[in-house]
Structure 1
Amino acid sequence: MRPEPVFPALQPAAPFDRCERAAVYKAIETRRDVRDQFRPDPLPDDLVMRLLRAAHAAPSVGFMQPWNFILVRSPTVRERAWQAFSRANEDAAALFPPERRDLYRSLKLEGIRKAPLSICVTCDPDRAGPVVLGRTHNPRMDVYSTVCAVQNLWLAARAEGVGVGWVSIFEETDVRAILGIPERIEIVAWLCLGYVDELYCDPELAVKGWRQRLPLEDLIFEDGWRDNP
């Protein structure tokens, strides 16, 4: 007869105290996407590992943990990534109407060059085998899980005084070629990390007039979908 598995003791589910709760909400509410304000001084290795441990503690469907983290410190590799971004950025600018194009080009997106560290976060759909608990009817759950890891890293970085910028303007084939990523691996995020002296009080795109935060009450439905007025 197989022995019954021994599970560790459960931990209390009590709420955090007031100061702990305030710290969590402060990290959420003051997190910003940094585009151009990075300092060049490197991040200590132990700090980077704390951020990666926070990312690795993210929830994942079927506990598949599909993420990998490619650390990019080489100026040569980052310059190749910036060139790929620059080409894609020009293509993106052409998609906006003329009255938005100048504003788009005025948004400085220099994180790849300025930040001392980039992290390419990927998703391995085969990590837990062909049938994954919780992914049987939604194959995208592995990617959603990886995005949770990105959010964990971002909030931990805010608590550590580290700025993060998510660069999404790439041709995927360019990033694969630069980093040697296999075809079966999905590229989820290119993150730029570095110390910053200041953060915007509100999201930069709101401050610069690109788009404003939507009213929360317009986004909450009960017991079913309704069309927004």
Structure 2
Amino acid sequence: MSEQYEFDPAAKDGVYKAIFERRDMRHFRKDSIAEDLIERLLQAAHSAPSVGLMQPWRIVRIQNTEVRKALHDVVERERVRTADAMGERSDEFMQLKVQGILDCGEVWVVTLMEQRERHVFGRRTLPDMDLASASCAIQNIWLAARAEGLGMGWVSIFDPQELSDLLSIPDGAEPIGILCLGHVDEFYDQPMLAKEGWASRGNLTDYVMSDGWEPEKAARAQQQWDKKL
């Protein structure tokens, strides 16, 4: 019986609270984060599931101020290039705050490991499962951070080669995210992009199908996506 393995009600409420109140944060205080808390977040990441137990994530803590500034510049250059590709939404995009690298207490760069091709278990037909596994590690950090009262933002606006060159990431490894972690004055009451009117969350019923692909649901979900472009 599954009941014997259930968390107690308070623990279950805490799990769902972290899931539903997690936010992609962009506004931080500059306060430092205690090392014991950093260790707990890293342990949360390292406890993530991974295909074939390959643990493809590698985490680089950015502790040098000059490297942090250079990282910020990498993101800013790509922000301008992204805006140029946005067409009529370019000006609107430039008004969005897309990162908090200079403001937060900690900056981590998450990369996929080098020589991933050697791991065949679970990846022979689905090689992107290494990315899925590393994403689970990032989500673990996110949820643990929210439970600890810390904000986290996942920044993906950067040129991978520029970032690799900056951090001497070897060939074959691949940066997939810049994580901004820090204390916040408050958490957004809804996703920031929804607050800013950039996009809204779709209806759950359009994203869940039964026994096969349902074109009508897929079309409704696509229409919701088209509104975001």
Fold shared per TM-score above 0.5: yes
Unaligned runs of 5+ in 2: 221-229
1:72-87 maps to which residues of 2 (within 5 A)?
72-87=62-77
The equivalent position to 2:57 in structure 1, one of 67, 72, 90, is 67
Amino acid at match of 2:101: I
1:120-199 maps to which residues of 2 (within 5 A)?
120-126=109-115, 130-199=118-187
By how many angstroms is 1:136 displaced?
Answer: 2.1
Instruction: Give the SS at the match of 1:50.
Output: helix
The equivalent position to 1:24 in structure 2, one of 15, 31, 34, is 15
**1:113 lines up with 2:102 in the alignment:** yes
Instruction: Give the SS at the match of 1:189.
Output: strand
Distance verdict in 2 for CA 1:13–1:61, change over 3 Å: farther
> Any idea what the Cα deviations from partners look like across 1:2-38, whole Å, max 9, x if unmatched?
xxxxxxxxxx961111111100000000000111x21
* Contact 1:73/1:116 (8 A) holds in 2: no
**1:92 lines up with 2:86 in the alignment:** no
What TM-score, normalized to structure 2? Answer: 0.89
Amino acid at match of 1:109: V
What TM-score, normalized to structure 1? Answer: 0.89
State the Cα RMSD in Å. Answer: 1.5
**1:14 lines up with 2:5 in the alignment:** yes
**Aligned partners of 1:53 and 1:154: how far apart in 2?**
12
The equivalent position to 1:226 in structure 2, one of 214, 218, 225, is 214
Unaligned runs of 5+ in 1: 1-11
Identity of aligned residues (%): 43
Instruction: Give the SS at the match of 1:114.
Output: coil
Amino acid at match of 1:170: F
* Contact 1:32/1:203 (8 A) holds in 2: yes
**Structure 1 match to 2:224:** none
**Aligned partners of 2:23 and 2:142: how far apart in 1?**
9
**Aligned partners of 1:55 and 1:13: how far apart in 2?**
27
Count of matched residue pairs: 215
**Structure 2 match to 1:9:** none
Per residue, is there more helix in 1 or in 2?
A: 2
**Aligned partners of 1:167 and 1:156: how far apart in 2?**
18
**Aligned partners of 2:76 and 2:122: how far apart in 1?**
39
